[in-house]
Chain A
């Protein structure tokens, strides 16, 4: 089940870094596919992420749905950089003044 909380099983940590936009979205999808295939809790670390676009946000939603279906715990963590945080805020996924990626979980839990 996709939910934030204490992680008991060994987790797959996916560290998001640099630019994650349409230019390399397939690459990231493949990485996430691999993480999902391990059927272990997934931790997404946002702290190294510098730039995102809507294709990234869509990919996150898609990942959440997949994790829900496969009962995989998905955790988002790390402090988001302002440019990343702004994109989530404009899209309505978080408040403008919240930088902790874990707060994104609230939106996913409510909407998906």
Chain B
């Protein structure tokens, strides 16, 4: 059981380390970003605490020392420097290593840990010298004392105290100025606004309101205590009082947070609340508890507190209980952690189910048994829903991977004495986890290329009138059944003449041939196209652009380049949403079945004998006054036998290019569970996988990029 907890801790620690790295990248860009500094501190603090609990003593001890420095940083006793960010990143990497090796360290690793800690000690020593950049932040909240005398201004909170992601319960004491009614102030509007920030309980405090005969009705004697459980920060709450704050008593006290509640789900007792609010002394409470009556009654009877104070405390108790119940419910229903292997198994099983469902539907259709057909239709609907649900579980936000590239940009830029920043967008775009896992290598290569070959040195950029800091934009967005992943930079761009020269020298084009930029850039994906001068220690590490293209196409995607000389380059990868089950389009050629990805199918047409006579050249066909390349699937796969009189043309599209593929007959849409081909079949051109039909027959899944390459090489060759 302990092993399970340890594994669970490790998974969470890896996630926290990734988040920490992301925050550090932000801090490097904006050293004043208190929220990110607090994030780093909190992550380290949690790792320290949890690691000790699960027996990772080295990590606990190491992170404790790092945490000390982070605490100084958080309280602004030391400032953010590049060196410090680097050091924290090293510490983060080191903890990662400690997790990987279960703390069994080599001598080299031992030494590394000691060196990193020595670095932190040096930083800490600066705290009282020239590195001091300001004073500590004031306390995060103003206690009840502020409400007792002079009007109090509540200091702005150190964001470290206000976790934006968890609900916190605040006790807000608000006593408007006596003249608030006459000066046009409207306490109701303030309360109303607060009520919109979360779970809200207002407890008016009427003790100071005089009886009617003594009341000056135009003066305000009423105070309010508000309990607010909210995810908003204390600064947002304070902003509600912005126009009355100077002339009112205002105290905002954090009384309970989610993490507090996680430790104990017991409600506060009435007496505790009264003592906490400063309305009752500990001794008086002790005495009241000895009485054989309700504490509230005893306290009111003995005039230790007012009736309204007891009622207020009871309301607070109810509010806290409600808040904790809500949190307990949320925690029990929010998310659970499942091993990815189990998810893969689930998808495999759903795949099998889809296959058998297809078989059931087919058999039911053949038997024409009405009840069986009805059952088959029902099973088909349920299977389809199950498939969608199972697939959605595999979808992950692509932004998860973006974070690691920030670090890559940071490290490579430092190594090359360049200044670069990475901007990301669309991180919430979801992709199948397998696609995400297999994207890493191509993305790393493309980012390396951008930094090494694309973005110029700070000096060169300055000369070119650009900012010294180069920008790499990594973005993702949906486009139909695909996700477009783009890496663009504002670097030097591609030199078309140099590419052309190289292409000519390699016999890929003739000197007098003019190609559109897009086609010219496709040469960059040819093996060994890059020049020796382009190979540095950063790029040219064995994965070339040809491999990038191969990997993206291996995912069923495509890649293309756009560039403007002197302004930058953009590489777009078009990726399928998923690799496990797709909507397919089933066709037949001879005795064989083939599946096209439905996302690529544009339309279908018949090729009658008459039309065939009109187009003796089988390479192209006039479709709505446009010449469209045509290729026969029989020709691609060498299928023999008699063609039908009327063939079918399936018009497919990849990117901007359309092509017609001739098949014998069309069967229709088909939920396609993708099965990988064995090693023996890996090299078959034009096939990306296989699937099993309802009757157990195998159908091959057509590789669209493969078909287009065949077209380019054999049909469209000049």
Task: Decide whether A and B assemble into one complex.
Answer: yes
- Chain A contact residues, CB within 8 Å of chain B: 22, 25-26, 28-29, 32-33, 36, 53-55, 57-59, 61-63, 65-66, 68-69, 87, 90-93, 110-112
Q: Determine the chain A residues whose CB is within 8 A of the CB of B203 once the complex forms.
A: 92
Which stretch of B158-166, B180-188, B516-524 is in the interface? B180-188
Of A33, A54, A66, A91, most buried by chain B (CB within 10 Å of CB) is A54
Q: Determine the chain B residues whose CB is within 8 A of the CB of A93 once the complex forms.
A: 204
Contact in complex: A53, B222 (CB < 8 Å): no
Does B220 belong to the interface (CB within 8 Å)?
yes
Give 9 closest A-B pairs by Cβ, nearest first: A92-B202, A66-B212, A65-B211, A66-B211, A22-B181, A111-B308, A62-B215, A29-B217, A25-B217
Contact in complex: A55, B186 (CB < 8 Å): no
Q: A111's closest neighbor in chain B, by CB?
A: B308
Across the interface, B222 reaches (CB within 8 A) one of A22, A28, A54, namely A54
Q: Determine the chain A residues whose CB is within 8 A of the CB of B188 once the complex forms.
A: 53-54, 87, 90-91
**Known pairs A25-B217, A36-B212, A90-B195 / 15 extra A-B pairs, C-beta < 8 Å:** A26-B217, A36-B213, A54-B187, A55-B181, A55-B217, A57-B204, A58-B222, A59-B212, A61-B204, A87-B188, A91-B191, A92-B201, A92-B204, A111-B307, A111-B312
Contact in complex: A111, B195 (CB < 8 Å): no
Q: Determine the chain A residues whose CB is within 8 A of the CB of B482 once the complex forms.
A: none
Q: Determine the chain B residues whose CB is within 8 A of the CB of A62 once the complex forms.
A: 209-212, 215, 217
Does B206 belong to the interface (CB within 8 Å)?
yes
Interchain CA distance A46-B529 in the complex, whole Å: 87
Across the interface, B213 reaches (CB within 8 A) one of A25, A33, A54, A92, namely A33
Q: Determine the chain B residues whose CB is within 8 A of the CB of A66 once the complex forms.
A: 211-213
Interchain CA distance A32-B215 in the complex, whole Å: 12
Does B378 belong to the interface (CB within 8 Å)?
no
12 A-B pairs with CB atoms under 8 Å apart are A25-B217, A29-B212, A54-B222, A58-B221, A59-B215, A62-B210, A65-B212, A90-B191, A92-B201, A110-B307, A111-B312, A112-B307
Across the interface, B182 reaches (CB within 8 A) one of A22, A92, A111, namely A22
Does B311 belong to the interface (CB within 8 Å)?
yes
Interchain CA distance A22-B187 in the complex, whole Å: 12
Does B192 belong to the interface (CB within 8 Å)?
yes
Does B315 belong to the interface (CB within 8 Å)?
yes
Contact in complex: B212, A111 (CB < 8 Å): no
Shortest distance between the CB of A14 and any CB in chain B (Å): 12
Q: Determine the chain A residues whose CB is within 8 A of the CB of B187 once the complex forms.
A: 54
Does B617 belong to the interface (CB within 8 Å)?
no
Contact in complex: B181, A54 (CB < 8 Å): yes
Contact in complex: A59, B315 (CB < 8 Å): no
Interchain CA distance A87-B202 in the complex, whole Å: 11
Does B128 belong to the interface (CB within 8 Å)?
no
Known A53-B188, A93-B204, A110-B311: A65·B181 in contact at CB below 8 Å: no
Contact in complex: B206, A33 (CB < 8 Å): no
Known A22-B182, A90-B202, A92-B204: A111·B211 in contact at CB below 8 Å: no
Does B512 belong to the interface (CB within 8 Å)?
no
Interchain CA distance A59-B210 in the complex, whole Å: 9
Q: Determine the chain B residues whose CB is within 8 A of the CB of A65 once the complex forms.
A: 206, 209-212
Chain B positions 199 through 234: 1 when the CB is less than 8 Å from some CB of chain A, otherwise 0: 001111010011111010110111010000000000
Known A29-B212, A58-B209: A111·B222 in contact at CB below 8 Å: no
Q: Determine the chain B residues whose CB is within 8 A of the CB of A33 once the complex forms.
A: 212-213
Interchain CA distance A25-B308 in the complex, whole Å: 25
Contact in complex: A112, B217 (CB < 8 Å): no
Across the interface, B212 reaches (CB within 8 A) one of A22, A32, A57, A92, namely A32
Contact in complex: A111, B217 (CB < 8 Å): no
Q: Determine the chain A residues whose CB is within 8 A of the CB of B311 once the complex forms.
A: 110-111
Interchain CA distance A63-B213 in the complex, whole Å: 8
Q: Determine the chain A residues whose CB is within 8 A of the CB of B201 once the complex forms.
A: 92
Shortest distance between the CB of A54 and any CB in chain B (Å): 5
Shortest distance between the CB of B470 and any CB in chain A (Å): 54
Shortest distance between the CB of B502 and any CB in chain A (Å): 74
Interchain CA distance A69-B214 in the complex, whole Å: 12
Shortest distance between the CB of A33 and any CB in chain B (Å): 6
Q: Determine the chain A residues whose CB is within 8 A of the CB of B312 once the complex forms.
A: 111
Q: Determine the chain A residues whose CB is within 8 A of the CB of B224 once the complex forms.
A: 91-92
Interchain CA distance A112-B306 in the complex, whole Å: 9
Interchain CA distance A101-B211 in the complex, whole Å: 21
Q: A52's closest neighbor in chain B, by CB?
A: B188
Q: Determine the chain B residues whose CB is within 8 A of the CB of A92 once the complex forms.
A: 201-204, 224, 315
Contact in complex: B181, A57 (CB < 8 Å): no
Q: Determine the chain B residues whose CB is within 8 A of the CB of A61 once the complex forms.
A: 204, 206, 209, 222
Contact in complex: B202, A111 (CB < 8 Å): no
Q: Determine the chain A residues whose CB is within 8 A of the CB of B192 once the complex forms.
A: 90
Interchain CA distance A58-B181 in the complex, whole Å: 11
Interchain CA distance A22-B191 in the complex, whole Å: 18
Interchain CA distance A57-B215 in the complex, whole Å: 13
